[in-house]
Structure 1
C-alpha cells in the first residue's frame, strides 16, 4: 500500500467524509480536512509530527457536532500538503502560514487544539497572535513548558538519523506500551517515514516564562500520565505556576503518541466541556 491509499484508509474511520480543501499560499499548498456545520464556530486541529490530520478520527465526531472543524496537514510534514513555494525558515514564516489557515476559516478569532509538535505551533501562534486565538488546547505539549526526557531522545535518535518504517514502529510501540494503537494509522505513520521526503519543519523555541505568564487566552493543557516524552507532573506544575487560570487535566492510561486516539472518550469529554463552557 502506498501513502495516499493508507491516508484514505484512515479517513474512512471519520464519522463523515471530510471536505478536502487545498489552500494555495506563499509556502505552497496546505491540505485541510473540513467537517461540521458550515455556520459552526471554527476550530483548528494541529496534529503531532508525522501523524497527519487523519489522526483525529476518534475526535471529530464529538468536536464537529457544533463546530466547523479544520484539521490541517502541516506544511513540510507527512500528509497531503505540498511545500512548493518559498521555504519556511523562521517562526515568523510559521506564524504567517498559521495566519493563512485562520483566514481560510472565515473567522478573525478561532479556537485551536494542538498535539505534540502541533501544540508547539499552537502555543507559538497564541504568543505571537493572541488576538486571533480564543481558546487554546495543548495536548501533551513537548518542549513547551519543560524539557524532554533523555531516555526518549535516545530512543528517537536512530529514527532521526536514519528514518525507516521499522524504526518508526519501534519508537511508537515502545512509547505507547500496551495501549492499543489503531493499526491503519500506524501503517500510515510508517509509510510517511519511508515513502515521503524527510520533514522540513520550523520548530518554535520554548516560550519564555514571561511569554507564557502573559498569555491572554483561555488555556487547557491535557497531559498523558504514562507518556515517556516528558514528566507530566513537572509540566503540570510549570503550567499552574505560570498560568494560574489554566485548566490542567492528566489522563490515565494515555501516552504521548496515543493521544488523541487513546483514551478518546475521556479526551473528548474534556475537550467538549472546555470548548463549550
Structure 2
C-alpha cells in the first residue's frame, strides 16, 4: 500500500478522480514523466514551444488539476509546465523529500534539468508556494518572476481550526466536508464542485503534517526578482497578515494583495497573475 493513502482502494479512487478531472484540460498538452532522485515526476506541458517557460506548483492534497481554471490564459503567453509535486495525490512518485533541507531543491533541479529549463517564471500555491520560495532562495538567478498564492513558510501556521474540527468530531457534529469548508473558506454555492473534489481526496489521502519551516527575513531579502503575493484575510491555516507584512518589509521588489473575505483557497486570480507575469 502506498504510504500517502489510507488504503489501496482509496488510492484507486483518488487516482480515478484525478484522471477524470484532467480530461477537462482545456488546451492541447504534452505529458512527461521526468526521472528524478525522488522517483518519476509527472509534468503536463502546454503553450507555444518558443514561448518563455512558466512552472506551476500546486498546493497540498492537490495536483495539476489545481490550474484548470487558469491554464487557458497562461498557455496563451507561456510554455507552461504543470508539475505534480512528489508525495501528493497526482501522477508523481509518493516520495516526500524532507522540508527545510536541500532535498526539495535537488528534486526540482532534476525536474528542470529533465525539461531543459535553465531559468523560469513560477506560479505556486500554498505548499507549492513553500517549495517555490525555498527554490528561489537556494537557487538565485533561476527564477525570473514569482507569483505566490497563500504561500507557506512566511506567516505563522495556525492550528485553531484543527481544534475546532476535532471538537466537532468528538461531539458528533463534524465530518470531512465541514473540516474542508473551514480550512479552505469555500462557502459559496458555486464552489461546491471544488469542495467535492477536496473532500473526496482527503477522505483517502494522508497529507504532510509537519510544521512548515519558516524563512528568515535575511532569506526573504535575497529574493531580487519581481514577486507577487496574494493572500486571503480569512485564512485559518496561515497568518496572512503576517505573510503580507513580512513580504512587504523584506522582499525588495514585491507586490502584495490581501483579498477580503477569502480563506486559504485563493481562486480566480488568473487575470491578476497574467498581468504580473507579462509586465
Q: TM-score, normalised to structure 2's length?
A: 0.83
Partner of residue 125 from structure 1, selected from 125, 135, 148 = 135
1:221-240 alignment runs, 5 A limit: 221-240=229-248
The alpha carbon displacement at 1:156 in A equals 6.5
Contact 1:136 1:217 in 2 (8 A): yes
The alpha carbon displacement at 1:240 in A equals 1.0
Distance (Å, rounded) in 1 between the aligned partners of 2:190 and 2:159: 24
Please identify, of 73-82 and 146-155, the stretch whose mean Cα deviation from structure 2 is larger.
Answer: 146-155
Contact 1:74 1:81 in 2 (8 A): yes
Please give the secondary structure, in 1, of the residue aligned with 2:141. Answer: helix
Q: CA deviation digits over 1:48-96, x for unaligned, max 9?
A: 1001111110010111101111111110111111247xx6345211111
Partner of residue 134 from structure 1, selected from 144, 168, 171 = 144
Change (3 A) 1:80 1:152: same
Change (3 A) 1:167 1:136: farther
Partner of residue 258 from structure 2, selected from 246, 250, 255 = 250
- Segments of structure 1 that go 5 or more residues without pairing to the other structure are 159-165
Please give the secondary structure, in 1, of the residue aligned with 2:55. Answer: strand
1:95-244 alignment runs, 5 A limit: 95-142=105-152, 144-155=153-164, 167-175=175-183, 176-180=185-189, 182-196=191-205, 198-199=206-207, 205-244=213-252
Change (3 A) 1:236 1:74: same
Q: TM-score, normalised to structure 1's length?
A: 0.83
Contact 1:30 1:74 in 2 (8 A): yes
Distance (Å, rounded) in 1 between the aligned partners of 2:70 and 2:162: 29
Paired residue total: 262
Contact 1:110 1:135 in 2 (8 A): yes
Change (3 A) 1:109 1:186: same
Distance (Å, rounded) in 1 between the aligned partners of 2:253 and 2:241: 17
